[in-house]
Amino acid sequence: MTRLQVLGAGAFGLAALAAFVGTPVPARPGEIDVNQLAGMIAREEDHVTAIDLAGWIKDRKPGLRVIDVRPVEAFDDFHLPTAESVPLPSISHAAFKTTDTLVLYSDGGAHAAQGWVLLRSLGYRHVYFLRGGLGEWLDDVMNPVIPATAAPDAKEVFKRTVELSLYFGGRPTVGDRPAATPTSQRIEAMKRRGC
Amino acid sequence: MSGLVLATMIGVAFGWTLERAGLGSARKLVGQFYLRDLTVFKVMFSAIVTAMLGAFWLSRLGIIDLGQIYLPETFIGPQLAGGLVFGIGFVVAGLCPGTSCVAAATGRVDGVATVFGMFMGVLATGLFLPRFAAFYASTPRGAFTLPEAFHLPYGTVVLLIALVALGGFTLAERIEGRR
């Protein structure tokens, strides 16, 4: 084999390997492991329900930090018990401990879910978001409803919800769910209730 | 300052390599247009493949940051026109910008004349730029790369270019061998 052939074979080998490697950018620690996160999302390990969160707050789960990613004005207007305001644009500067359990919430679920991706990319392991946002909290914790015709099993489960709801000053109801109203109106209605 | 020192060192190495490859000679360069001598093609494509594999793997191993490398922007119309002018100049002079500097440095008169002409061209372009400023900035595509153009993974493009180069080298050797 001549020297030229060796060089050519070497170039071909490196190029063929490049095709398998795909991208010239290595995955560095603290960056997103896309496959891992995609798996977590598919297995629904990325979010918590409002009832779960209410339980964590009530039980004073160690290291729990409830993060409101909405603008400060919205936070000042209304926020979840024990929540702290970290608007999305400043999320990379926030000083969280890696051992903290971070639960993000926003009005809907989208901004909190995006914040989840950002915090995961910064290397925080215990991050969740409130799937349905404030709306879910208002529906399931502050105004939980169970149909009068519900099965006995469901009523048994509802007992825990009622307990949590009353703890946070909610109004559990048996009967029909009232017609849907925008989150902002429901927040106003609740503030008039004095909570 | 260290950037200028580094640029000087790279420039000296580049010129030395071009001269060693025999590219200071206009006869050798023009030879490729008559398919007599494809040294230019082989040298340039070897350099492209070496730089491409080097950049890919150094980045992959975390030694360099590809994001820090300047990507010249693509302007399809102006660059087509510029390429044609460049090609005509290349055949007529028998030298391109880098090789004209090498030819001038080795004392070839045609090299000195080409370098002089090149600077006159740069001066004229600067003076008359406002007249064709609209064309100069037309059909912009930004920093446009082959993986984007072909919607292929970066590594696949690396392999394809290497295969084209290796195939091209084999073909070039055959063409030269026949003459």
Report pLDDT digits (tens) over A59-101. Answer: 888 889 999 999 999 999 999 999 999 998 888 777 677 778 9
Question: Which of B62, B154, B166 lies closest to A8 in CB terms?
Answer: B166
State how many domains chain B has. 1
Q: For chain B, give the secondary structure using H, E and C.
A: CHHHHHHHHHHHHHHHHHHHCCCCCHHHHHHHHHCCCCHHHHHHHHHHHHHHHHHHHHHHCCCCCHHHCCCCCEEHHHHHHHHHHHHHHHHHHCCCHHHHHHHHHCCCHHHHHHHHHHHHHHHHHHHHHHHHHHHHCCCEEECCCHHHHHCCCHHHHHHHHHHHHHHHHHHHHHHHHHC
What number of CA atoms fall less than 13 Å from residue A150's CA on the CB side? Answer: 16
CA atoms within 13 A on the CB side of B95: 26
Question: A80 has which bridge partners?
Answer: none
CB-nearest partner of B57 from A12, A14, A22:
A14
B92/B110 Cα distance (integer angstroms): 11
Set of chain A residues whose Cβ sits within 8 Å of the Cβ of B62: 26, 28
Q: Is B155 on the interface with A (CB under 8 A)?
A: yes
Q: What is the pLDDT of residue B70?
A: 77
Q: Which B residues 30-69 touch A at CB under 8 Å?
A: 49-50, 53, 55-57, 59-62, 66
Q: pLDDT-based confidence at A157, cuts 50/70/90? A: confident
Nearest Cα to A105, choosing from A89, A120, A84, A76? A84
Six token digits for residue B29: 């360069």
- Condensed to tens digits (0 to 9), the pLDDT of residues A28-52 reads 455 678 888 888 888 888 899 999 9
Q: In this predicted structure, what is the pLDDT of residue A137?
A: 93
Q: How far apart are CA A124 and CA A120, in angstroms?
A: 5
Domain A34-136: top CATH class? alpha beta
Nearest-Å Rg of the Cα atoms of chain B is 18
The model's pLDDT over B45-55, given as tens digits with 9 standing for 90+, comes to: 999 999 999 99
Q: Three-class SS of residue A1?
A: coil
Contacts of A1 (CB under 8 A, 6+ apart): A9
Per the CB < 8 A criterion, the answer to whether A103 and A66 are in contact is: yes
Q: Does B145 touch chain A (CB under 8 A)?
A: no
Spell out, as residue ranges, where chain B has pLDDT lower than 70: 67, 179
Going from N- to C-terminal start, the domains of chain A cover 34-136, 143-190
ipTM of the complex: 0.78
Say what the pLDDT of residue A193 is: 57
Query: Nearest residue on chain A to B52, judged by CA atoms?
Result: A15
Instruction: State which residues form the domain around B108.
Output: 2-178
The answer to whether the Cβ–Cβ distance between A11 and B166 falls below 8 Å is yes
Q: How many of the other CB atoms lie within 10 Å of CB of A192?
A: 8
pLDDT at A159: 87
DSSP helix/strand/coil, A146: strand
The pLDDT score that the predictor gives to residue B157 is: 93
A145-172: average pLDDT: 86
Say which amino acid occupies B19: E
Q: What is the pLDDT of residues A92-145, one digit of tens each?
A: 777 677 778 999 999 988 999 999 998 888 878 889 999 999 999 998 999 888
Mean pLDDT, rounded, of chain A: 85
Separation CA B33–CA B88 (nearest Å): 11
The model's confidence at residue A178, banded by pLDDT at 50, 70 and 90, is low
pLDDT at A194 over 60: no
Distance CA B86, CA B88 (A): 6
Please report the pLDDT score of residue B56 as a whole number.
Answer: 92
Q: And the tokens for A76? A: 């000042």
What is the per-residue pLDDT for A29? Answer: 52
| B163/A14 touch (CB, cutoff 8 Å), yes or no | no
